[in-house]
Amino acid sequence: MTQTHRSGPQLRRAVLSSYLGSVIEYYDFLLYATASALVFNKVFFSNLDPLVGTVASFGTLATGYFARPLGGIVFGHFGDRIGRKKMLVLSMTIMGLGSTLIGLLPTYAQIGVWAPILLVLLRVLQGIAIGGEWGGAVLMSAEHATSRRGLWASFTNAGAPSGLVLSSLVLAASASFTGEAAFLAWGWRIPFLLSVVLLAVGLFVRARVAETPVFEDAAREKPASPPLMEVLRHHPRNLLLSIGVGFAAFAVQGTLTTFVISYAVQAGFPRPTVLNALTLSSVVAIFGIVGFSALSDRVGRRPVVLAGAAATGLFAFLLFPMIDSGAVLLLTLAVVIGQGVLHPAMYGPLAALYAELFSTRSRYTGASLGYQIAGIGAGIAPVVFASVLAGGGGSVTVAIILAACCLLTIVCTVALRETSSDDLADDPGVTAGATVNR
């Protein structure tokens, strides 16, 4: 297939727009996660018992995870039919405006039960938009790239720890500037309202990116059936394996960025100390994701993901003893090694790998659906592990579950063929040897 000319400037714009979109996604998501723990139970669920209010607040957080696969299907359908760029502009707009509107929501004291109802609706909209953002952002980079696809696609995944660092800095500055009482009254709204600034910058960059040449070539042919049906009919094995390949990465992500914070605080560490360790690990993770993804261009996606999953499974049995030691240095090392070094080996190459598993006219749908279903692991892992501890289980049980998740990733990765040398213009469903190791 003769492909449309791909220019260096367009690739750089595509990578930058994908990175900024991911930063905005995780900035908004982590703002909501932190506010759920600190503010929303008092502002939107003030009529409930404090403990019940906190549970209800975290419940609204979970709705975003379960809305993501729906976003992957909806945005994936139109992204595969009319283009990646249009859907990315729409998903970014919905995501940024949703976060801004949360910052403008009246409280329960002002409008009663409509406050939490509107909060949940906005969270669902965010989840749908986020579900459509990742797949399109990855494809904008991967389908513009003529070489080093793993490296260029990885900047979308690098936006996750970047968003965590940015949200942590903005929240800390807002709380410091306003003071505790004012922060609870109105200061918490500032970081949400700042989303509109990120949105403006992101849309400016994204508007200058051309549609991907791979999609433009494929769009000349009329699609045979809806993209979701194409995925289920021609790539069901790849879809199922992609969920298994990514599940451990998300379970570990949820553990290190959410569960470990609570666990370490209960172990006696001050919350700022734990958050500082998490922020440092996120900075390291930015470089880890890009570095391991670049390595996957040289040695293949499978060896890097396999090594990361095996090492993480073993490290799970060291993670909690290091935290239980009570030493700040060991806590910091545990989080930095887990979040900044081992997790990126599993997570970084997934951007290019997911894009390589599906054909062009169903790639947005397939990659998004596999990634977002696997992503539910990040939402349920903290809940499962907290339940284990509350039920009398210990950290060893948690480590065994994490290791089992890593084993699932290893098995599914072994079942996949190596895809790093594939041409995205080819159909993996009809390429010889598409479903066997090579």
Q: What is the mean pLDDT of residues 130-139?
A: 86
Q: What is the mean pLDDT of residues 365-386?
A: 87
Please report, as a single letter, which amino acid is at residue 223: P
- Going 30 to 33 to 35 to 38, the CA torsion angle's sign is negative
- For position 418, what pLDDT does the model report? 93
- For position 310, what pLDDT does the model report? 97
Higher pLDDT, 374 or 218: 374
Burial of 70 (0-12, 13-18, 19+ CB in 10 A): middle
Q: Which range in 75-79, 256-260, 370-374 is most confidently predicted, on average pLDDT?
A: 370-374
**159 near 25, Cβ under 8 Å?**
yes
Q: Is 337 helix (H, G, I), strand (E, B) or coil?
A: helix
Percent of the chain topping pLDDT 70: 87
Closest CA to 348 of 422, 246, 438: 246
Report the length, in residues, of the chain: 438
Could you tell me the pLDDT band of residue 410, with boundaries at 50, 70 and 90? very high
Higher pLDDT, 333 or 160: 333
Judged by average pLDDT, the poorest of 80-84, 221-225, 257-261, 272-276 is: 221-225
Closest CA to 335 of 391, 288, 386, 377: 288
Q: Which range in 163-172, 309-318, 424-433 is most confidently predicted, on average pLDDT?
A: 309-318
For 281-303, what is each residue's pLDDT tens digit? 999 999 999 999 999 999 999 99
Closest CA to 249 of 292, 295, 298, 297: 292
Percent of the chain topping pLDDT 90: 32
Give the CATH number of domain 8-415; options: 1.20.1250.20, 1.10.287.90, 3.40.50.720, 3.60.15.10. Answer: 1.20.1250.20
Q: What is the mean pLDDT of residues 80-89?
A: 84
Could you tell me the pLDDT band of residue 308, with boundaries at 50, 70 and 90? very high
- Residue 131's contacts (CB-CB under 8 Å, 6 or more residues apart) are 67, 68, 69, 70, 71, 72, 73, 74, 75, 368, 372
Q: Which range in 171-185, 247-261, 312-326 is most confidently predicted, on average pLDDT?
A: 312-326
Query: b/e string for 406-415 if b means 16 or more Cβ within 10 A?
Result: bebbbebbeb
d(CA 74, CA 82): 12
**What would you report as the CA-atom Rg of the chain, rounded to the nearest whole angstrom?**
21
Burial of 109 (0-12, 13-18, 19+ CB in 10 A): exposed
- Residue 249's contacts (CB-CB under 8 Å, 6 or more residues apart) are 343, 346, 347, 350, 374, 409
- Residue 19's contacts (CB-CB under 8 Å, 6 or more residues apart) are 155, 156, 158, 159, 162
For 96-113, what is each residue's pLDDT tens digit? 888 888 888 887 778 877
Centre a 10 Å sphere on the Cβ of residue 250 and count the other Cβ atoms it contains.
Answer: 26
d(CA 212, CA 217): 9
Statement: residue 321 has pLDDT above 80: yes
- For position 206, what pLDDT does the model report? 78
Q: ∠ CA 301-303-308 to the nearest 5 degrees? A: 95
**111 near 146, Cβ under 8 Å?**
no
- Residue 273's contacts (CB-CB under 8 Å, 6 or more residues apart) are 328, 331
Higher pLDDT, 387 or 52: 387
Question: Which two structure tokens, joined as six digits, stand for 209?
Answer: 């990116």
Judged by average pLDDT, the poorest of 180-184, 263-267, 361-365 is: 180-184
Q: What is the mean pLDDT of residues 31-48?
A: 63
DSSP 96-112: HHHHHHHTT---HHHHT
Statement: residue 2 has pLDDT above 60: no
- Going 82 to 27 to 195 to 34, the CA torsion angle's sign is positive
Mean residue pLDDT across the chain: 83
Statement: residue 150 has pLDDT above 50: yes
Closest CA to 338 of 302, 408, 288: 288
Looking at residue 435, the DSSP 8-state letter turns out to be T
Closest CA to 201 of 175, 164, 166: 166
d(CA 120, CA 101): 12
Torsion of CA 85, 89, 90, 94, to 10 degrees: 150
Looking at residue 36, the DSSP 8-state letter turns out to be I
